[in-house]
Amino acid sequence: MARFALLFGCLLAFAGMLCAADISGKWTASFETQIGVQNYTYDFKVDGEKLTGTAKSQFGEGPIIEGSVKGDEITFVENLDFDGQQVRITYTGKIAGDEIKFTRKVGDFATEELVAKRAK
């Protein structure tokens, strides 16, 4: 009986982790960069571990590619057209409820920290 209770508790905890990592929907972030404050809206779509959607800022909008969500870990790439130059921005983050703490590598130019919050 004790084994059953332990197994059931583990299954509930695992199910809770899966629910907590459902990030589908709109998220917003405003953060300071080398070129000034950037305001982003991310529209995430999750299918299993695959992440797609869009990233939109005052500099443009583009698709989220190479995205994945595994537990509370998230990664994706945004290709930004900045003044006619393609800039690859790689995001890695940790999901915590209605916040995602990201580190993003902007080409070979900069590494930035930001927090995105679920839009309400």
CATH code of the domain covering residue 98: 2.40.128.20
How many structural domains are present in the chain? 1
Quote the longest CA-to-CA distance of the chain.
Answer: 65
pLDDT at 15 over 70: no
pTM of the entire predicted model: 0.81
Residues 6 or more apart from 32 whose CB is under 8 A from it? none
Q: Whole domain around residue 18: which residue ranges?
A: 2-118
Query: In which band, very low, low, confident or very high, does the pLDDT at 84 lie, cut at 50, 70 and 90?
Result: confident
pLDDT bin (cut points 50, 70, 90) of residue 1 is low
